[in-house]
């Protein structure tokens, strides 16, 4: 322990539902601890990415060290670790929590507890964190802090009546939160004399320094120039720089000691070497055993990602390489589709992760993408006794070779005002859900518990839920395991030819309905061609739905007057441009929108 | 041999669907414009030009007083080498083609006249904002015939408000019973900025399916009446195809004079801006080269598919090579099986149904040869 006494360190995170004011509270805390000059304040300082700011979500964990002089006259060091707020990043959240002794639970004074908040709070309690409830947005006219405090006590079962009532927006009572952290959150209790042992809770790639690993030191200490070992991967590196995360910059220090949060650089080239949850120790004086809880992150949702313009394939590869530098949970491998050309099969932690990656590729790397329908991993037991895992419909075996198939299920909790229960039950029923139970959170709000197949929610479940509840319901899920299921591969044929990029795996009971919807949607989105195009859905060669794109009747510039052919030329140039935006599938031209339209079927 | 195009940018009244360049006729401007045209013939670039076709287009060329038309004709003969069998066409409005004027045209050497008849149904004509009725048009054609015109063309319009396949067939019957040798049939297209460019008109005119039905029916009807469908919009009795217009589609060269005129001359395309005052001021400084140079490779497919002769496989091979041509030909076979084109004697040509979707077919063929 170099500068600070462990008893004056507080390591905590903030748990909140989207929009309940986590980032705003973090900003206020930074302001109050004078970590950032007022004139340098930019709203929501911790969320660096545009997407994070816009969506009000945190995608990557981040940490900051703050100095605070408390009412008891002592100086404290706060390490605020910002956790991702979404179920897709559940594992990352759990590792961030493991780096803390306490969690500030922010609840909106008018909306009360939401599904994600509850999930993450339970996760915090599981990690033995001290939960400090805070009621935010008391400035709103609809604020009911007393009711919400009651709700926290009833649902979570922690005392909340003396919870600070604050407004992060106007800055009311922020100091009270910090005082609460000091009194309620325990100080770290690491042993400075034991061998060095630290938890990696995040890592980022820096083009100059290589991978920067964010660690919480549990025991012992570390200095620059020492050799570290990452226990899960076994990789060894010599540390180059040790420091802590200031509000604006990384601040190098001589040593990081037990209980502290900071960073290590060691000329590490691949982020894959520094896995979140892994334990860092000294190579020459290792600790006995690694910290518990490490898992290799597994992709849950897969999708083909193709450049709309085939020539942009190398650009897409570079962009994915760059994103993967900072995101060890993004996996991708080259894939070829007869319909879409060269692209990548990408694996994501979940739906939000998938959306974010696609959005970042389009925005930050200026790529126009075509993505195929998301798929989950199916377990297929073959007649020869072998079991294979299928994440790509293209690889789905011939039905004759399949003994049985299994699909992943999730436990889903939907928090909703009571009035929408009927709508949601209808939706879950339609998505092959099994009703488990329903709990009243208070007089008006309900926790609906369903078991749902993951492949039913990877499509457009969020959108469907939102539209059926006017946006009021929230949703959280966790993996449950595999169950046997009657699955079939549904193929889509244009002009009699299978379009591989449109094939997907579906439960047999849903196949007919889905096939009909997709053929209808394609018919609407494929422009008339020179001749009639049948659009068909088939299972194992048997046609189950058919639509027809009618033949084009008229596309002619009949009058070319006085030898003026420029007009015709311009018109043809425009048509050529239009053709470039089309995908040629055999003799049929399909616009990008047609591929996208089949991804959103719930309308 | 080349062609000569003369643009006469005057109309008595502007038709509400037309977006060709014209101004309201006034005698003083017409006089100045005629002088400017004649000066423009002295452009050294066109010295020694040999022509076997001359075409007066507009506007309404017949709006010009015959003495001015006569001066232009005289200057043409003085300035250029006009073939003695040249086809010399003038476009005329049935209302501005009095018997005496028609005789004067013949005397100046004009031997082909093209009337903007548009329809044999007076209510359709009224809807188009035309100043004539069908009786007037009928009389003009008969007068022209009597005045010695043996090559008479009539324009008709498809898709006019109130028109249906039957009324169009009646128009075709009536017209073909007159002494005409040629018919141009255009589908009404609403051009941006014209008085027809409004929702009400758009709702009133025939929809695409109906216009397509009309076009197919008309093609059959005119073939029946002995008119050969030799270009997308043009039909002629044997030997009466417009030699001038065919130059446009067969990479023949033509020199255009007057405001808004276009030329293809010595391998380069030119145009004169749509500005009558500027043209009167400085007639032969007005010509501007088209940005994109004329290239037979780029234009052949687009132009040749307009005429019934269509594409010549040998020519395709010389322009695009064996492999590209092979791709185009196999695409053509697919289209043939859908009744969109014909393949025979090493030529690919469009059927009436193919003409209707020719833009798409052209782009597909261009794609097949690597140009799109």
Taking the C-alpha atoms of residue B169 and residue B173, their distance in angstroms, rounded to an integer, is: 6
Instruction: Report the b/e string of A396-423 with b at 16+ CB within 10 A.
Output: beeeeebeebbbbbbebbbbbeeebbeb
8 Å CB contact of A560 and B363: no
B100 confidence band (pLDDT: 50, 70, 90): very high
Which burial class, exposed, middle or buried, applies to B340 when counting CB atoms under 10 A from its CB (0-12, 13-18, 19+)? buried
DSSP conformation class of B371: -
- Asked if pLDDT for residue A600 goes beyond 70, the answer is no
Residue of B nearest to A531 (CA): B338
B186 Cα to chain A: minimum distance (Å)? 6
| Closest of B115, B170, B114, B168 to residue B137, by C-alpha | B115
Last residue of a domain, one of B248, B264, B280: B248
Write out chain A residues lying below 8 Å of B57, CB-based: 561-562
Tokens, residue B152? 């008479």
pLDDT above 50 (res A2): no
Of residues A127, A149, A125, the one with CA closest to residue A136: A149
pLDDT by residue (tens digit) across A178-199?
999 999 999 999 999 999 999 9
Same domain for B186 and B302, yes or no, is: no
Residue A411 contacts by C-beta under 8 Å, 6 or more apart in sequence?
A436, A449, A450, A451, A477, A478, A479, A480
Q: What is the CATH number of the domain that holds B307?
A: 1.10.10
Give the tokens for residue B79.
Answer: 């300035």
Q: Chain B residue closest to A563 (CA)?
A: B248
Which residues of chain B lie closer than 8 angstroms to A530, CB-CB?
335, 338, 340, 357, 360-361, 364
User: What is the pLDDT confidence band of residue A44, given thresholds at 50, 70 and 90?
Assistant: very low
Mean pLDDT of chain A: 86
Does B140 or A14 have the greater pLDDT score?
A: B140
Please indicate, yes or no, whether residues B243 and B302 belong to a single structural domain of this protein.
no
- Whether B100 maps to a domain, the answer reads yes
Question: How many structural domains is chain B composed of?
Answer: 2
Interface probe, candidates B362, B369, B371, chain A, greatest A C-beta count within 10 A: B362
Provide, as residue numbers in chain B, all residues whose Cβ is less than 8 Å from the Cβ of A562. Answer: 5, 7, 55, 57, 256, 260-262
| B303 contacts on A by Cβ (under 8 Å) | 565
Q: B79 lies in a domain? A: yes
- In this prediction, residues B130-143 reach a mean pLDDT of 94
Cis peptide, bond prior to residue B59, ω within 30 of zero? yes
On chain A, the residues whose CB falls within 8 A of the CB of B361 are 530
Helix (H, G, I), strand (E, B) or coil at A486: coil
Cα–Cα dist A304/A500, whole Å: 11
Q: Confirm if A209 and A242 have CB atoms less than 8 A apart.
A: no
Q: Which of A63-77, A242-256, A556-570, B161-175 has the weakest average pLDDT?
A: A556-570
Residues 6 or more apart whose Cβ sits within 8 Å of residue A42: none
Q: State the pLDDT confidence band at A473, using cuts at 50, 70 and 90.
A: confident
Whether residue B85 lies inside any domain: the answer is yes
Whether the CB-CB separation of B71 and B34 falls below 8 Å is answered with: yes
B116 assigned to some structural domain: yes
Q: What is the mean pLDDT of residues B12-38?
A: 93
Confidence check: pLDDT of B198 > 90: yes
From B55, B212, B366, residue closest to A553, measured CB to CB: B212
Spatial distance between the Cα atoms of B14 and A214, rounded to a whole number of angstroms? 77
Q: What residue spans of A283-410 are helical by DSSP H?
A: 313-326, 351-364
C-alpha count within 13 angstroms, C-beta hemisphere, residue A201: 29
Cβ separation of A572 and B366 shorter than 8 Å? yes
Half-sphere exposure of A394 (CA within 13 A, CB side): 17
The answer to whether the Cβ–Cβ distance between B359 and A576 falls below 8 Å is no
Residue A154: its pLDDT value, please? 86
Of B232, B247, B359, the CB nearest to A572: B359
Confidence category of residue B298, pLDDT binned at 50, 70, 90: confident
User: What DSSP line would sit under A230-294, residue for residue?
Assistant: ETTT--EEE--EEEEE-SSSEEE-SEEETT-EEEEE-----GGGS-TT-EEEESSS--SSPPTT-
Same domain, residue pair B220 and B319:
no
Mutate to test the interface with B, among A496, A551, A562 (most CBs of B within 10 A): A562
Continuous segment of H or E residues that includes residue A582: strand A582-585
Which of B329, B318, B263, B325 is closest to B296 using CA atoms? B318
Residue B287 lies in a domain: no
pLDDT band at B320 (very low <50, low <70, confident <90, very high): very high
What would the mean pLDDT of A246-267 be, rounded to a whole number?
A: 91
Q: Is residue B120 part of a domain?
A: yes
Whether B153 and B41 map to the same domain: the answer is yes
Residue of A nearest to B358 (CA): A556
- Cβ neighbors of B302 (< 8 A, separation 6 or more) are A565, A568, A569, A572, B362, B366
B301 and B242 housed in the same domain: no
> Among residues B229, B248, B267, which one ends one of the domains?
B248
Of A3 and A552, the structure prediction assigns the larger pLDDT to: A552
Segment A387-436, tens digit of pLDDT: 999 988 989 999 899 999 999 999 988 888 899 999 999 999 999 999 99
What beta strand segments (E) does chain B contain?
A: 2-8, 10-11, 23-24, 50-58, 81-92, 112-118, 151-158, 182-187, 228-231, 234-236, 254-257, 262-265, 268-271, 288-289, 311-312, 341-344, 347-350
**CB–CB contact A565 B260 (8 Å):** no
Q: Which ipTM value was assigned to this complex? A: 0.88
For residues B115 and B204, state if they share a domain. yes
Q: What is the mean pLDDT of residues A236-248?
A: 91
Same domain for B18 and B159? yes
- For B215, the token pair is 């076009």
pLDDT for B66: 95
Residues A129-150, mean pLDDT to the nearest whole number: 92
Q: Are B188 and B157 in contact (CB under 8 A)?
A: yes
Does residue A536 contact residue A512 with C-beta atoms inside 8 Å? no
Nearest to A562 among B57, B302, B303 (CB): B57
Regarding whether B218 and B162 lie in a shared domain, the answer is yes
Q: For chain B, what is the mean pLDDT?
A: 94
Question: B21 and B152: one domain?
Answer: yes
Which DSSP string corresponds to A131-187?
Answer: EEEEEE-TTSTT--HHHHHHHHHHHT-S--TT--B-BTTTTBTHHHHHHHHHHHSPP
Residue A371's pLDDT band, with cuts at 50, 70 and 90, is confident
Q: Which contiguous run of DSSP H or E holds residue A487?
A: strand A487-494
- Residue A270 buriedness (CB in 10 A; 0-12 / 13-18 / 19+): middle
Residue A47, pLDDT above cutoff 80: no
Sign of CA dihedral B172, B178, B183, B187: negative
Which residues of chain A are within 8 Å of residue B248 when distances are taken between CB atoms?
560, 563, 565
CB contact under 8 A, A553 and B208: yes
Instruction: Report CB contact under 8 Å: A566, B290.
Output: yes
Same domain, B233 and B94: yes
Which of B248, B281, B305 is the C-terminal boundary of a domain? B248
Query: Is residue B274 domain-resident?
Result: no
Residues near A181 by beta carbon (within 8 Å), at least 6 away in sequence: A10, A12, A78, A102, A104, A132
* A→B interface, C-beta within 8 Å: 530-531, 551-566, 568-569, 571-572, 575-576, 579, 587
Element (H, E) at B322: helix B313-337
Token pair belonging to B32: 């100045």
Tell me how crowded residue A481 is: count the other CB atoms within 10 A of its CB.
Answer: 9
Whether residue B193 is found in the same domain as residue B77: yes
**Cβ-contact B355, B216 below 8 angstroms:** no
Q: Closest chain B residue to A581 measured between Cα atoms? A: B372
User: Tens digit of pLDDT for each residue in B29-45?
Assistant: 999 999 999 999 999 99
Q: What is the mean pLDDT of the segment spanning A206-214?
A: 89
Residue B169, both tokens: 């067939």
CATH number, domain with residue B21? 3.20.20.70
- Residue B276 falls inside a structural domain: no
Number of H helices and E strands in chain B, helices first, is 14, 17
For B241, the domain range is 2-248
Residue B81 three-state SS = strand
Instruction: Check residue A58 and give its pLDDT.
Output: 53
pTM to 2 decimal places: 0.70
| Same domain membership, residue B329 and residue B190 | no
pLDDT at position A61? 54
> Among A513-517, A539-543, B284-288, B360-364, whose mean pLDDT is lowest?
B284-288
Closest CA to B152 of B186, B116, B122: B116
């Amino acid at each position: 322990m170099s500068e600070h006494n462990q008893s004056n360190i507080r390591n905590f995170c903030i748990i909140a539902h989207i929009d309940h004011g986590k980032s705003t509270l973090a900003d206020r805390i930074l302001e109050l601890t004078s970590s950032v000059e007022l004139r340098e304040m930019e709203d929501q300082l911790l969320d660096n990415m545009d997407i994070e700011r816009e969506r009000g979500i945190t995608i990557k964990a981040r940490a900051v060290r703050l100095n605070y002089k408390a009412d008891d006259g002592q100086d404290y060091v706060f390490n605020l670790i910002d956790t991702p707020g979404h179920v897709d990043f559940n594992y990352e959240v759990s590792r961030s929590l493991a780096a803390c002794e306490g969690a500030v639970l922010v609840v909106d004074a008018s909306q009360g507890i939401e599904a994600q908040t509850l999930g993450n709070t339970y996760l915090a309690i599981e990690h033995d964190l001290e939960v400090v409830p805070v009621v935010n947005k008391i400035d709103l006219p609809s604020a009911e802090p007393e009711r919400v405090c009651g709700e926290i006590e009833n649902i979570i079962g922690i005392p909340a009546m003396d919870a600070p009532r604050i407004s992060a927006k106007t800055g009311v009572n922020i100091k009270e939160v910090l005082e609460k952290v000091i009194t309620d959150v325990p100080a770290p209790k690491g042993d400075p004399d034991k061998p060095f042992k630290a938890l990696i809770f995040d890592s980022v790639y820096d083009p100059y320094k290589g991978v920067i690993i964010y660690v919480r030191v549990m025991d012992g200490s570390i200095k620059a120039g020492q050799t570290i070992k990452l226990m899960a991967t076994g990789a060894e590196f010599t540390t180059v720089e040790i420091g802590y995360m200031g509000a604006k910059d990384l601040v190098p220090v001589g040593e990081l000691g037990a209980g502290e949060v900071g960073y290590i650089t060691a000329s590490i080239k691949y982020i894959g070497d520094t896995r979140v949850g892994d334990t860092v120790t000294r190579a020459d004086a290792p600790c006995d055993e690694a910290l518990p809880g490490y898992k290799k992150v597994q992709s849950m949702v897969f999708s083909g990602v193709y450049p709309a313009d085939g020539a942009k394939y190398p650009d897409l590869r570079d962009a994915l390489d760059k994103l993967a530098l900072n995101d060890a949970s993004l996996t991708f491998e080259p894939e070829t589709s007869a319909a879409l050309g060269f692209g990548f099969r990408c694996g994501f932690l979940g739906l939000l992760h998938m959306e974010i990656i696609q959005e970042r590729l389009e925005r930050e790397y200026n790529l126009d993408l075509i993505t195929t329908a998301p798929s989950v991993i199916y377990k297929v037991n073959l007649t020869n006794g072998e079991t294979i895992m299928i994440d790509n419909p293209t690889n789905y075996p011939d039905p004759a070779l399949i003994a049985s198939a299994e699909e992943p299920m999730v436990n889903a909790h939907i928090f909703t005002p009571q009035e929408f229960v009927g709508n949601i039950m209808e939706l879950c029923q339609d998505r092959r859900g099994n009703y488990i139970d329903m709990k009243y959170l208070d007089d008006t709000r309900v926790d609906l518990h369903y078991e749902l197949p993951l492949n039913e929610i990877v499509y457009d479940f969020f959108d469907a839920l939102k539209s059926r509840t006017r946006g009021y319901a929230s949703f959280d899920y966790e993996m449950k395991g595999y169950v046997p299921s009657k699955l079939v591969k549904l193929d889509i044929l244009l002009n009699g030819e299978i379009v591989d990029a449109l094939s997907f795996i579906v439960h047999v009971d849903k196949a007919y309905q889905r096939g009909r919807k997709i053929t209808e949607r394609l018919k609407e989105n494929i422009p008339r061609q020179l001749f009639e195009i049948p659009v068909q859905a088939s299972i194992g060669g048997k046609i189950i739905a058919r639509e027809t794109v009618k033949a084009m009747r008229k596309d002619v510039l009949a009058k070319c007057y006085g030898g003026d052919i420029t007009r015709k030329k311009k018109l043809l140039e425009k048509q050529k441009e239009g053709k470039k935006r089309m995908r040629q599938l055999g003799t049929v031209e399909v616009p990008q929108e047609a591929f996208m339209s089949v991804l959103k079927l719930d309308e | 041999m080349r062609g000569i195009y003369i643009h006469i940018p005057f109309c008595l009244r502007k038709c509400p669907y037309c977006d060709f360049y014209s101004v309201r006729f006034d005698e003083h401007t017409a006089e100045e414009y005629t002088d400017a045209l004649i000066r423009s013939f002295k452009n050294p670039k066109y010295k020694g030009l040999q022509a076997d076709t001359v075409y007066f287009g507009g506007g309404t060329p017949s709006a010009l007083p015959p003495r001015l038309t006569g001066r232009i004709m005289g200057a043409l003969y003085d300035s250029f080498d006009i073939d003695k069998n040249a086809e010399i066409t003038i476009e005329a409005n049935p209302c501005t083609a009095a018997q005496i004027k028609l005789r004067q045209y013949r005397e100046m050497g004009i031997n082909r006249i093209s009337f903007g008849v548009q329809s044999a149904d007076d209510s359709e004509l009224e809807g188009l904002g035309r100043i004539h009725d069908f009786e007037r048009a009928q009389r003009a054609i008969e007068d022209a015939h009597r005045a010695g015109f043996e090559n008479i063309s009539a324009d008709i319009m498809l898709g006019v408000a109130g028109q249906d396949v039957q009324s169009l067939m009646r128009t075709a019957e009536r017209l073909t019973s007159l002494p005409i040798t040629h018919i141009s049939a255009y589908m009404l297209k609403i051009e941006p900025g014209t008085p027809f460019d409004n929702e009400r008109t758009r709702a009133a005119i025939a929809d695409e399916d109906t216009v397509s039905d009309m076009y197919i029916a008309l093609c059959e009807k005119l073939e029946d009446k002995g008119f050969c469908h030799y270009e997308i919009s043009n039909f002629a009795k044997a030997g009466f195809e417009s030699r001038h217009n065919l130059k446009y589609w067969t990479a023949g060269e033509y020199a255009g004079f007057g405001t808004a005129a276009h030329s293809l001359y010595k391998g380069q395309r030119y145009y004169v801006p749509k500005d009558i005052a500027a043209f009167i001021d400085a007639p032969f400084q007005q010509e501007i080269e088209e940005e994109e140079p004329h290239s037979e490779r780029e234009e052949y497919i687009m132009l040749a598919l307009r005429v019934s002769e269509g594409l010549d496989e040998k020519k395709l091979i010389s322009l695009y090579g064996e492999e590209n041509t092979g791709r185009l030909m196999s695409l053509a076979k697919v289209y043939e099986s859908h009744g969109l084109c014909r393949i025979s004697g090493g030529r690919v040509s469009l059927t009436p149904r193919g003409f209707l979707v020719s833009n798409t077919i052209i782009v597909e063929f261009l794609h097949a040869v690597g140009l799109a």
